[in-house]
Amino acid sequence: MNGEVMAGRPEDVLRQYEDKINLHRFDELVPLISSEATFWFSEGSFSGTSEIRSAFEKTWQAIQDESYWLEDLRWIAVGDDAASCTYGFRWRGTVDGQVRSGGGRGTTVLRREAGQWKIVHEHLSSLPTARE
């Protein structure tokens, strides 16, 4: 596909996004993300392509050879122009010379822009701690 965005279904865009994250080249993700997007991560909130790029590149520098994937996707709303999905995310990579892994939960909101689905919001957070 080489940079093309699949316009047909939001599910296709989210799968492309999951695959392209593992290339560790933000330019591969740009066609999938709205220029108006806001991403909320545990390190902060990032709006617009430039801020989001910086957050991704900082993570890729900190976690060498990172693999990232989504699990248990639940499409909670899908309409003609907007869709939302919740999921679990997992990662594995090398941090400070040691193999580490982690995960959490996420929500992604997509919006149809000029006939193509784009990610307009992503919110990742850690899993809640067990209550005693």
Model pLDDT for residues 57-112, shown as the tens digit of each residue: 999 999 999 999 999 999 999 999 999 999 999 999 999 999 999 999 999 999 99
Q: What would the two tokens of residue 22 be?
A: 């593992």
One-letter amino acid of 1: M
Alpha-carbon separation of residue 69 from 14, 47, 73, 87 (angstroms): 11, 23, 11, 10
Instruction: Report the Cα 43 to chain-centroid distance in Å.
Output: 15
Q: How many CB atoms are located within 10 Å of the residue 122 CB? A: 20
Say what the pLDDT of residue 128 is: 87
The answer as to CATH 3.10.450.50 being correct for domain 10-125 is yes
Closest by alpha carbon to 112, among 1, 9, 4? 9
Query: Is 58 in contact with 66 (CB distance < 8 Å)?
Result: no
